[in-house]
Every structure is written in structure tokens, then in C-alpha cells.
Amino acid sequence: MQNQLNNGVVINTNDLVKKYPMGRNELVALKGINLTFRRGEFAGLVGPSGSGKTTLLNIIGSLDTPTSGSATVLGQRIETLSHRMAADLRNRHIGFIFQTFNLLPVYTAFENVEFPLLLLGMSGAERRKAVMAALEWVGLADRAKSRPAQLSGGEGQRVAIARAMVKKPEIVLADEPTANLDAENSHNILHTMEKLNLDFGTTFVFSTHDQKVIEHLRRKIVLVDGQVAADERLQPEPDRGQP
């Protein structure tokens, strides 16, 4: 496991299978997925609805567990983690971006971004500095006091990106991040995420069937019926001077 981390591997799945009970039958959402993601990748899981993209993302994000096989994230076997350990992994190392932004409605943009840092027990001064920096990254420092209802769709998603990035996680998992956005906002969002990926070396894994997103990916993994149908390198990974 340590070897994988030393090799820059942050996510590794091995014969990953996920089945859901459906009455007397069961639905096999993932059928033996073997994938490896290295630090700093900007990769996308592409495929039609029901192909298993979100299921895979949920397992990598320790929100769900595999039925069989294994998923290793930052050296931790997801299937062996307790609820508390999984929550801790998500809290410290993984950022989530959702299709519907999932901002907490009664909090301001600042408070939404601050939330993960509160869970980390960071001091007030540190939090303020980190939150304002994150809002600067996404160009929303001037909207810090706005509530989600007062933000446009693009702004809302940028706040969600700031929330995912504020703790500088190793991995960001984005589930259809542009599905609710128009072309211009989608472009801005993707540009922001690319920049953060390059600046911080954060691994971004998307689930998407949006062509606009696919154009920005450096690696495209096509899922069909719960299986990897193709795994293509679209652009070379930038050289960060690390193995």
C-alpha cells in the first residue's frame, strides 16, 4: 500500500463489484472494475446513465462499500473502514462536488466553505484565512456573505468547488458538476478546477456524460454496464517534478 502511495497512486480498485438488491433479484452496478489513479490526474468516468459512474465515485469517496473486490484510497481499504474512519477519510482527504451543488441553504457562502474546516477543528483565524483564499480561487470573495439562494447556478457551483478545495484535499470527486449549468458557466467551472488541479496537484475524478467536461479531461474512462469499456489518455500529465 505504501508502495502505491510512493508511486503516486492515490486510488486503486481491484475487481470491484457492487450489487444492489432489487426485490428478489439484484442489480449489478459494477462488474469487476480495475482502475488506478495517480496523484494530480484530471480524469473522468464517462458513460450513459446507469453505467455505474456515480456508484464507483461513491465507493472511491467512502460513501459506499463494494460487494466484493477492493478499493484502496490513499492507502486505506474502503471495505474495511468503520463509519467513523470513512467519515474521517472524507473529512481530511476527499472533497466532493455534486451536480446540484448541495450547499447548506441556511449558511452563507463563507459558512458553507468554512464547514469542512470546522469539522477539522481549525482555529477561527486559520479558518477565515483559508476560506477567503478558497473563495478567491473561485473568484467569489465578494460574495462571501451571500446565501445559496442569492447566488446564480455558476456561483453556487463555484462555492461548492471552494468548499471541496478549502482543506486542500488529495482527491476531489465531482459527480456531474456541470449538468445544471449553461455552457459559459460550465467552461468557467472547468477552467477553475483545471487551475486548482495544476496549482495544488489535487487528483480530480469526474463522473460525466457532458461533452464540455470530456474536452477538458486528460484521461477518459468509459464505463458501459458497470465495466470499463475504454481507458484513454487524452492529454499527457503535466510534469510536476515528482515521481
Partner 1 sequence: MTVLRLAWRNLMGAGIRTWLNVTVLSMSFVVIIWAQGFLQGMNRQVQDAMIAAEYAGGQYWQKDYDPYDPFTLSDAHAELPPALAELVRAGDATPVLVTQGSIYSGGSMRPVLLKGADPAQHIVALPSEFLAGDSTELPALVGSRMASSAGLKQGDIATIQWRDVHGTFDAREARVAQVMNTSVQSIDVGQVWLPLDRLQMMTDMPGQATVVTLKRGVRPPPAPPGWAFHTTDDLMSDLRALVKAKSTSSSIFYLILLFLAMLAIFDTQILSLFRRRKEMGTLMALGMTRGRVIELFTLEGALHGVLAAAVGAVYGIPFLAFMARHGIQMPKMLDTMGFAIGERLYSTYTPGLLLGTTILVLIVTTIVSFLPTRRIAKLKPTDALRGRWT
Which residues form the interface with partner 1 (CB under 8 A)? Answer: 58, 61, 63-64, 83-84, 87-88, 90-92, 96, 98, 100, 102, 104-107, 111, 115-116, 118-121, 163
Distance, in Å, from the CA atom of 203 to the CA atom of 197, rounded to the nearest integer, reads: 7
Residue 17 or residue 214: which is nearer to partner 1 going by CB? 17
Edge-first strand listing for the sheet containing 203-208: 94-97, 171-175, 203-208, 42-46, 219-224, 227-233
Residue 75 or residue 238: which is nearer to partner 1 going by CB? 75
Residue 54 or residue 197: which is nearer to partner 1 going by CB? 54
In whole angstroms, the minimum distance from the beta carbon of 167 to partner 1 comes to 9
Residue 64 or residue 210: which is nearer to partner 1 going by CB? 64
Cell representation of residue 111: 459558512
Q: Residue 39: name the closest of 88, 1, 4, 87 by CA.
A: 4
In whole angstroms, the minimum distance from the beta carbon of 232 to partner 1 comes to 28
In whole angstroms, the minimum distance from the beta carbon of 168 to partner 1 comes to 14
In whole angstroms, the minimum distance from the beta carbon of 243 to partner 1 comes to 29
In whole angstroms, the minimum distance from the beta carbon of 103 to partner 1 comes to 8
Q: Cβ neighbours of residue 160 under 8 Å, at least 6 residues apart?
A: 97, 98, 101, 102, 103, 112, 177
| Residue 223: strand pairing partners | 228
Cell representation of residue 9: 497512486
Distance, in Å, from the CA atom of 210 to the CA atom of 31, rounded to the nearest integer, reads: 23
Phi, psi of 230 (to 5 degrees): -155, 150
In whole angstroms, the minimum distance from the beta carbon of 216 to partner 1 comes to 23
Q: If 0-12 CB within 10 Å is exposed, 13-18 middle and 19+ buried, where does residue 52 land?
A: buried
Residue 46 or residue 89: which is nearer to partner 1 going by CB? 89
Residue 8 or residue 116: which is nearer to partner 1 going by CB? 116
Distance, in Å, from the CA atom of 193 to the CA atom of 69, rounded to the nearest integer, reads: 31
